[in-house]
Amino acid sequence: MAEDLNWAVGGEAGDGIDSTGKIFAQALSRAGRHVFTSKDFASRIRGGYTAYKIRTSVDDIQSVVDRLDILVALTQRTIDENLDELHEGSAVIYDGERSWEAEIPDEITAVDVPLKSLAEDAGGAIMRNVVALGAACEIANFDVEYLDESLEKRFGGKGSKIVENNKEAARLGQEYVQENYDLDHLGYSLETTDNDYVLLNGNEAIGMGAIAAGCRFYAGYPITPATSIMEYLTGRIEEYGGHVVQAEDELSAINMALGGARAGARSMTATSGAGIDLMTETFGLVATSETPLVITDVQRSGPSTGMPTKQEQGDLNMALYGGHGEVPRFVVAPTTITECFWKTIEAFNLAEKYQTPVFLISDLAMSVTEQTFPPEAFDMDDVEIDRGKLVDDDTVDQWLDSQGRFRAHAATEDGVSPRAIPGTTDGAHMSTGLEHDELGRRTEETDVRVQQVDKRNRKVETAKEEEGWEYREFGNPDSENLILSWGSNEGALVEALEYLEEDDVDLRVISVPYIFPRPDLTDEIEAAEEVIVVECNATGQFADLIEHDALTRVKRINKYTGIRFKADELAEQITEKLSAEVPA
Amino acid sequence: MSSDVRFTDFKSDKQPTWCPGCGDFGTMNGMMKALAETGNDPDNTFVVAGIGCSGKIGTYMHSYALHGVHGRALPVGQGVKMSRPDIEVMVAGGDGDGYSIGAGHFVHAVRRNVDMSYVVMDNRIYGLTKGQASPTSRSDFETSTTPEGPKQPPVNPLALALASGASFIAQSFASDALRHQEIVQEAIEHDGFGFVNVFSPCVTFNDVDTYDYFRDNLVDLQEDEDHDPTDYEAAKEVILDSDKEYQGVMYQDDESVPYHEQHGVTENMSEIPDGAPEDAMDLVREFY
């Protein structure tokens, strides 16, 4: 892991931190290097501490670590917040001409660059971050020309003058460091490759997956961190004949999406935190009316408004049990950014095949993390679409009763009924959240009630048999130490394996992308001496499920600081847990 | 769609459980007739209803339909219409459904101006929960939960619509069958959001806003030759007149641009390819 470079830019919200980081991340990606980013941001528009961190390597990386090599500090707080991660070989780029006196520990190399005045020389103070990027390139021994492409991508729309000014700003930063500092002893040198990578985050992968899956109608209400799914779809889904509507609230959003789904369009809504609570009112209706709908919950730190810009995996119980009464549902939880893409497609297929709501649960860490992948990781030729038992004018007849009425909720053997969408001749029918008969008409008859409840639950049994509810596995399959995880912790765990190998600790890591139905892990658990469940919540919601399934106690690693797991930290905690007592 | 559609084609074989004499019978008949008269048939029509006596309408009519949760029928209807511009969408609700729990949705549905119709059966009481005050109940109307009356002014749904930028505002009376049908027909034919508030008396729990009361007090705007529905000021005057009850089209903005035109939403979104769209790799390349 010597090839790594850990870089960050930090300042106040409104300082352009995000775009600065994105420009550098894209430059690294264009240079054929792997990139893994993380963001630290506060719930405010201007002011407050915000940072964009990049870890880059020629090797694949899937996690952040507690280490910073080059830090662009636009404020003193940026330095203070990251002191723990700075080390003897670190360099801090700051602007000594600005009013604050940078307090930087002696062992860390302070690189004072007049960011603002160099930016003004290039055409405007606003480009001071780009000056800093040029300076960072020089320190890292990374060719500043790689920045040019990302500057073109970022500013191309604003005209060639702006692009040229930015390129100039980067070069001024580079030259300033060249002329005033000798930093070769830091030893940074970023190797490049010919690989073409794409760089995207989990929410973008979900949006892209939705379009690939044929989602045409999206209704949502802005909420951190789900909003960027809506932002991604806006302006793109129209190209494929779709539409995004910003509803007046989450209640409306899910009901609009329900309308779209009943009209036959593959439809989705996405929300987070409090929004998913509001949507819960309609959740039972979606399930009882047997409407295929994908409901995405990008988990953030709760309860109530909690910490809206921080990581947590605390909504699992909500997805499993939310809503009054008992309703069948699927809960799918992608474990990586590529999985965000593929599981979104699968969610749409499951929704239509089984005419059931599908919760697609992601989390904040995955939604804002940008990562590089070979483009084939999103090979559109592999996208398969299954619309289930959709009937048309020619096939509707076999589902009509003796009086010619469409049996929209026919109690079939597999529990799945035919589906007629508006416009289908003779398919007209009503659906309702009231208990109903096969025709969709209200009933309180005990026999029909039982028939319909059983029929809906039977869909889950059918799906359990027909779908591959698999898990992803890493490490040593014969290890007696079994680690179970769900959601975005997978990357950090996979890297933790490497740290632990160095200490001769071996692990079998199982990452579970399906919460309900989920793979049966009883055999794997029985084969292991030690079972540890890793998740970003306080109570261990997934661990509870595992204990329930396997009828045994497991150890737990829980993190609920609001920050995602880091590979090095996880390795340490796993070592500690392995020698600890199993809880009573 | 066939030209020989009769309004009875929109009728289901389920017998309504509304109280004998309920205004909702007339309201529903007018809706079915209006749908048939405007050239629709059950297979190209989607009716959405909320909760309450009005919400039962989807059961008694025959079409594609959804009976949803309380107050949220309008969002469902908009979702149907936005994804299927080729389908006729009608939303039915009650005064509680539309002006209390669903008031927020009402305001936003009105301002979006989606090309659909919204028929509210306004009986000025909560019927199905057996007689509590509704948002349109008079301030001195005594009920089980307001023994001395709600002591707050009723919502004026027409004014609320006008203030929200409505492009079509009308009111009708369930018992005046022909006029009611004509007015709903105009709402359907309006190119945008057609809103009709229908006086639909509750014979069981409301002994104030009765058939007789409306018969005695109703002024038909059709008989007022001076009323020009395209005149905003004239509409405002009628809508804010608290001394009289009106029926007819209060306001119609002929030049309003419906949602689908504003947003270029014209495709039938139910048809999708068997795999990813042909040029879907462009989506990936964007991230280079």
What are A84-111's pLDDT values in tens digits? 999 999 999 999 998 778 899 999 999 9
Q: Is A25 exposed, middle or buried (0-12, 13-18, 19+ CB in 10 A)?
A: buried
Chain A closest-CA separation from residue B268 CA (Å) = 8
Are residues A212 and A358 located together in one domain of the fold?
A: yes
Are residues A490 and A365 located together in one domain of the fold?
A: no
Structure tokens at A138: 């020089």
Strand segments, DSSP code E, in B128-182 are 168-173
Say if residues A7 and A91 touch (Cβ distance below 8 Å).
no
- Residue A244 counted as domain residue: yes
Could you read off the pLDDT of A147-202 as tens digits, one per residue? 999 999 999 999 999 999 999 999 999 999 999 999 989 999 999 999 999 999 99
Q: Give the burial string for B17-26 (b: 16+ CB within 10 Å, else e).
A: ebeeebbbbb
The complex scores an ipTM of: 0.98
Domain extents in chain B: 7-287
Are residues A118 and A21 located together in one domain of the fold?
A: yes
Q: How far apart (Å, rounded) are the C-alpha atoms in residues A244 and A230?
A: 7
For residue A315, the 8-state DSSP code is -
Could you read off the pLDDT of A388-398 as tens digits, one per residue? 999 999 999 99
B20 contacts chain A (CB < 8 A): no
- Which residue, A466, A495, A519, sits at the end of a domain? A466
Are residues A268 and A174 located together in one domain of the fold?
A: no
Of B76, B276, B288, the CB nearest to A196: B288
Domain carrying residue A433: 396-466
Chain B closest-CA separation from residue A444 CA (Å) = 14
Ordered per-residue pLDDT tens for chain B, 288 residues:
445 899 999 999 999 999 999 999 999 999 999 999 999 999 999 999 999 999 999 899 999 999 999 999 999 999 999 999 999 999 999 999 999 999 999 999 999 999 999 999 999 999 999 999 999 999 999 999 999 999 999 999 999 999 999 999 999 999 999 999 999 999 999 999 999 999 999 999 999 999 999 999 999 999 887 899 999 999 999 999 999 999 999 999 999 999 999 999 999 999 999 999 999 999 999 999
Say if residues B269 and A217 touch (Cβ distance below 8 Å).
yes
Are residues A74 and A209 located together in one domain of the fold?
A: no
Could you read off the pLDDT of A219-233 as tens digits, one per residue? 999 999 999 999 999
Whether A241 has a pLDDT exceeding 80, the answer reads: yes
Q: Position of tokens 């209400």?
A: A221
Q: How far apart (Å, rounded) are the C-alpha atoms in residues A440 and B60?
A: 12
Whether A66 has a pLDDT exceeding 90, the answer reads: no
Contact B269 A242 (CB under 8 A): yes
- Residue A175 counted as domain residue: yes
- Residue A387 counted as domain residue: no
A551 sits in the region (left: phi over 0; alpha: psi -120 to 50; else beta) called left
HSE (side-chain half, CA atoms, 13 Å) at A390? 23
- Which residue, A423, A442, A466, sits at the end of a domain? A466
**Does the domain made of B7-287 have the CATH classification 3.40.50.300?**
no
Report the amino acid identity of residue A105.
P
Residue in B closest to A284 by C-alpha: B69
Say if residues B83 and A259 touch (Cβ distance below 8 Å).
yes
Which pLDDT band holds residue A45 (cuts at 50, 70, 90)? confident
Of B44, B82, B283, the CB nearest to A208: B283
B72 contacts chain A (CB < 8 A): yes
Are residues A105 and A234 located together in one domain of the fold?
A: no
A242 neighbourhood in chain B, CB within 8 Å: 267, 269
Are residues A342 and A321 located together in one domain of the fold?
A: yes
Which of these ranges, A409-413, A425-429, A560-564, B225-229, has the smallest mean pLDDT? Answer: B225-229
Region A1-13: mean pLDDT is: 83
Q: Is B194 exposed, middle or buried (0-12, 13-18, 19+ CB in 10 A)?
A: buried
Q: Give the burial string for A183-203 (b: 16+ CB within 10 Å, else e).
A: beebebebeeeeeebbbbbbb
Task: For residue A359, give the CATH number of its domain.
Answer: 3.40.50.970
Structure tokens at B205: 């729990």
Are residues A351 and A444 located together in one domain of the fold?
A: no
Are residues A102 and A147 located together in one domain of the fold?
A: yes
Structure tokens at A474: 């890493």
B84 neighbourhood in chain A, CB within 8 Å: 263-265, 422-423
Tell me how many domains chain A contains.
Answer: 4
Task: For residue A184, give the CATH number of its domain.
Answer: 3.40.920.10
- Residue A258 counted as domain residue: yes
Taking CA B236 as the corner, what is the angle to CA B235 and CA B242, rounded to the nearest 5 degrees? 110
- Residue A388 counted as domain residue: no
- Which residue, A382, A414, A435, sits at the end of a domain? A382
Are residues A406 and A541 located together in one domain of the fold?
A: no
Q: Give the burial string for B215-241 (b: 16+ CB within 10 Å, else e).
A: eeebeebeeeeebebeeeebbbebbee
Contact B280 A383 (CB under 8 A): yes
| This prediction's pTM | 0.96
Nearest to A297, CA basis, from A282, A315, A280: A315
